[in-house]
Amino acid sequence: MERNELTEKEAVRQIERTDKERRDFMQHHYKRDIRDPHGFDVTLNIERISIEKCVDVVLTAYRAKFDLLPG
């Protein structure tokens, strides 16, 4: 709101429009519904986990998926 000098109502509208555009893009190009959790290997709540810890989790998941873990 501050960065774009928007009212709360305008910011909500912009977020809703952007979310819809992203959903439509994924549906059109990849035939995927981004609201379906089965389309993701990992989901993280960045309000509860630091970005640094999220990076660690994503890297570990990537390495596990592609069998790149030591051992």
Q: What share of the chain is helix, strand, coil (3-state, %, to 5)?
A: 60, 0, 40
Q: Which residue has the tokens 């290997």?
A: 41
For residue 70, name the pLDDT band (cuts at 50, 70, 90): confident
Q: Where are the beta strands (DSSP E) in 1-71?
A: none
For residue 62, name the pLDDT band (cuts at 50, 70, 90): very high
Q: How far apart are CA 45 and CA 43, in angstroms?
A: 7
Q: How far apart are CA 32 and CA 23, in angstroms?
A: 8
Mean pLDDT of 32-59: 93
Q: What is the pLDDT of residues 13-39, one digit of tens each?
A: 999 999 999 999 999 999 999 999 898
Q: How far apart are CA 6 and CA 15, in angstroms?
A: 11
Global pTM value: 0.61
